[in-house]
Amino acid sequence: MELLIDDLFKVISDKKISYIAEKVLGGDRVTEDEVLYLFNSNDLTAIGHLAEFINRKKNGMNAYFIVNRQINPTNICVYQCDFCAFGVKKSDPKAYEMSLDEILRKVEETCEAGGREVHMVGGIPAHWGYERYVELVREIKSRFPEVVVKAWTAIEIHHMAKISRKSYEEVLTELKEAGLEALPGGGAEIFSERARQIIAPNKANAEEYLEVHRTAHRLGIPTNATMLYGHVETLEERVEHLSKLREIQDETGGFQVFIPLAYWPEGTRLGGRRTSSVDDLKTIAVSRIFLDNFDHVKAYWVTLGEKVAQIALNFGADDLDGTIEEEKIVHSAGTRSAYGHSVDRLVKLIKKAGKTPVERDTFYNVVKVYD
Ligand code: V47
């Protein structure tokens, strides 16, 4: 259903938001100052309506999901970031490492259930050599060629380059030859050096994260982008983050989707509070308005919760991620969402939001439309 321009302006009473809406509809870009104004505004209805207007122009009534599985081969991690409750030291009683057989069994189950994607990321153990990361991809892809391997965050790629003394280009080329087809967006956190020093001082910095993605795009590997929000960052720092992503996307066009990740504080050393639903919806909507060169914005049901994710589908988001099966990272930090969802459940969530459920593959090709 098309949203009418007249209806849009009926819900906007704020003069500056009205000006921003006119600019956007005229094809002009929103500036950093303007997007900061939107973040500071409490007019969620107006911002949401504008974002949804833009989304419908890009994606119509489609709301996407994928039949996928997350696999986290280990939670042992050298970096010990304060916002993360998943990564532990090797000596921790909660530490685990999955065997290759265990991993392959999970992929087999996923393929049997019609899954199309394995999203594999994890902790970064000091005792893992570079070859282990490459071999995992090679083993999965050679035994299950039908599944797309979306694996390793830019942080893991940076780490591989460091321990193997190879360039990002060499690492990504070898992974691609082994069967890697896409990179997930994890590890971006927040690009601001000030905030990163507080929440994740030891791992790859913003420039390194972005350079890995740039290199992947150059090699023809599409990637996703995330932003972890709701911890110590300011709204100005969120704008800086979005702006860097928009700049790289102008350069390469290699990002498939933007995924805002709401911070969950339980069990983390950083602590803090959960984000509000208003902040979650506003962040989705503002991102949709600002990132005019991104085709998709994901409402990740694991961090948002199913209900807010469902509402987000009318606030600018067009994708829920997928069935996932077994989410561990955000569950370590207290999310109350399910560990995974059936196709049926995702289809119902989307239909009840008034959208058309569309099963997709990793690259947003349509697999099935649930009319
Ligand atoms: O990199 C860690 C985040 C990410 C917490 O690319 C936390 O399609 C909230 O990146 N509270 C992993 N978030 C998840 C991720 C992702 C998920 C779904 C799809 C895609 C994609 C990517 O979760 C981590 C980190 O940024 N995270 N700790 C926490 N306490």
Spacing, Cα 59 to ligand 1 middle (Å): 24
Whether 15 has a pLDDT exceeding 70, the answer reads yes
Which amino acid appears at position 75 of this protein? N
pLDDT band at 145 (very low <50, low <70, confident <90, very high): very high
Of 149, 153, 203, 226, the residue with max ligand 1 atoms within 8 A of its CB, to mutate for a pocket test, comes to 226
Whether 2 has a pLDDT exceeding 70, the answer reads no
What CA–CA distance (Å, rounded) separates 360 from 368?
7
Residue count of the chain: 371
Spacing, Cα 261 to ligand 1 middle (Å): 6
The answer to whether residues 24 and 50 touch, using CB atoms and an 8 Å cutoff, is yes
Whether 4 has a pLDDT exceeding 80, the answer reads no
pLDDT of 185: 98
pLDDT of 25: 92
Nearest atom in ligand 1 to 187's CA: 1
The pair of three-digit structure tokens given for residue 264, joined into one six-digit string: 């969950």
For tokens 């392959």, the residue is 104
Spacing, Cα 188 to ligand 1 middle (Å): 9
Give the residue whose CA is nearest to atom 16 of ligand 1.
186
Q: Give residue-wise pLDDT tens across range 50-86.
A: 999 999 999 999 999 999 999 999 999 999 999 999 9
- Where along the chain do its domains lie? 54-369
Whether 92 has a pLDDT exceeding 70, the answer reads yes
The pair of three-digit structure tokens given for residue 177, joined into one six-digit string: 């030859």
Q: Which residues line ligand 1 (CB under 6 A)?
A: 83-85, 153, 184-187, 189, 224, 226, 228, 259, 261, 263-264, 268, 300, 303, 321, 329-330, 333
The answer to whether residues 314 and 79 touch, using CB atoms and an 8 Å cutoff, is no
Q: Give residue-wise pLDDT tens across range 262-278.
A: 999 999 999 999 999 99
For tokens 């153990």, the residue is 125
For 320, what's the count of Cα atoms within 13 Å in the CB-facing half-sphere? 38
pLDDT of 85: 97
Q: Give residue-wise pLDDT tens across range 153-195.
A: 999 999 999 999 999 999 999 999 999 999 999 999 999 999 9
Nearest atom in ligand 1 to 228's CA: 26
Supply the CATH classification number for the domain 54-369.
3.20.20.70
Rg of the Cα atoms in the chain: 20
Whether 228 has a pLDDT exceeding 70, the answer reads yes
Residue among 180, 160, 182 at smallest CA distance from 171: 160
Q: Give residue-wise pLDDT tens across range 283-307.
A: 999 999 999 999 999 999 999 999 9
Give the residue whose CA is nearest to atom 4 of ligand 1.
186
The answer to whether residues 191 and 239 touch, using CB atoms and an 8 Å cutoff, is no
What CA–CA distance (Å, rounded) separates 70 from 106?
10
Nearest atom in ligand 1 to 300's CA: 18
**C-alpha angle with apex 258: 253 to 264, nearest 5 degrees?**
155
Of 156, 189, 209, 261, the residue with max ligand 1 atoms within 8 A of its CB, to mutate for a pocket test, comes to 261
Burial of 61 (0-12, 13-18, 19+ CB in 10 A): middle
What CA–CA distance (Å, rounded) separates 248 from 354?
33
Burial of 26 (0-12, 13-18, 19+ CB in 10 A): exposed
What are the C-alpha distances in Å from 210 to residues 3, 16, 188, 205, 246? 35, 32, 8, 9, 11
Spacing, Cα 330 to ligand 1 middle (Å): 7
